[in-house]
Amino acid sequence: MSSSLSITFLLFLTSAFCVAQNTLTVAAAADLAALAPELAQVFEKANPTVRVRFVTEASAVLAQQIENGAPYDLFMSANAKFVDRLVLAGQLAPRPVVYATGRLAMVWRDGKHHNMNDLAQKWVRFVALANPQLAPYGAAAREALEHAQLWPRIKPKVGYGENVRQTLQLFDSGNADAVLTAAGLVMERNPQMIPADWHQPIVQKAGIVTASAKQKAAALFLRFLEGSEAQEIFARHGFGRASR
């Protein structure tokens, strides 16, 4: 009995070790939180020996963590400049891919669509945006409001989240009457899409961490992101395809 238990325990440890060895840890931008499980599921179905684990956070934060040696295998950024910077520093492999274009959307407390000028009305007390210094969606939201000539009137009532997911939480907590955030996080909420030409394109790039010991599996996942199955998932979640 003791011998049998020992063999079972060794098999368990071996299995756990193999799973750990074949698990890709993907540092993913916060706007990917809603679709990450589906991306993982579809990829794992086609590649049953590989598991995918997502860590979602603001792109700026993830980039800094990679610079400091965080043990990620792949970086999916909502801001292409962070990927380009890490490639130049040698911390991401050359030839990153553009996997999507982010779309900006607005959701109102009453769930309806309104004229954007209503943001300046007195009944709108607070507007939630992602921090433009950290999140590309925050920068895009400010550009869109400037395009609509609303920014000077909106600025005093803006509340900032560190990333798009935190910004949405700020709205959900009742502390804002409207939120401008990633369409990918609010597609089930009847979002009001912001015209893409009201702000600079939110080009999203992915690259392989050069320190990763799982280069082949990471390369498989990178190719998967460009393929039709992944692109269909991005499209259903409100993303567009970026030109290279």
Residue-wise pLDDT for 71-109, tens only, equals 999 999 999 999 999 999 999 999 999 999 999 999 999
Residue-wise pLDDT for 222-231, tens only, equals 999 999 999 9
| Strand 127-130 to 158-161 pairing | parallel
- 8 A C-beta contact, residue 101 and residue 201: yes
Residue-wise pLDDT for 18-57, tens only, equals 444 689 999 999 999 999 999 999 999 999 999 999 999 9
Provide the pLDDT confidence category of residue 6 given band limits of 50, 70 and 90. Answer: very low
Residue 2 has pLDDT above 90, yes or no: no
User: What pTM was estimated for this model as a whole?
Assistant: 0.84
Query: Using CA atoms, how far apart are residues 181 and 109, in angstroms rounded to an integer?
Result: 14
Instruction: Collect all residues with Cβ–Cβ distance below 8 Å to 79 and sequence separation of at least 6.
Output: 29, 59, 60, 135, 136, 202, 203, 204
Distance of CA 108 to CAs 94, 105, 126, Å?
A: 41, 10, 11
Domains of the chain: 2-102+201-236 (3.40.190.10), 104-193 (3.40.190.10)
| Burial of 188 per CB tally in 10 Å (0-12, 13-18, 19+) | exposed
> What's at 90, amino acid-wise?
G
| 78, two tokens | 């909502």
Provide the pLDDT confidence category of residue 242 given band limits of 50, 70 and 90. Answer: low
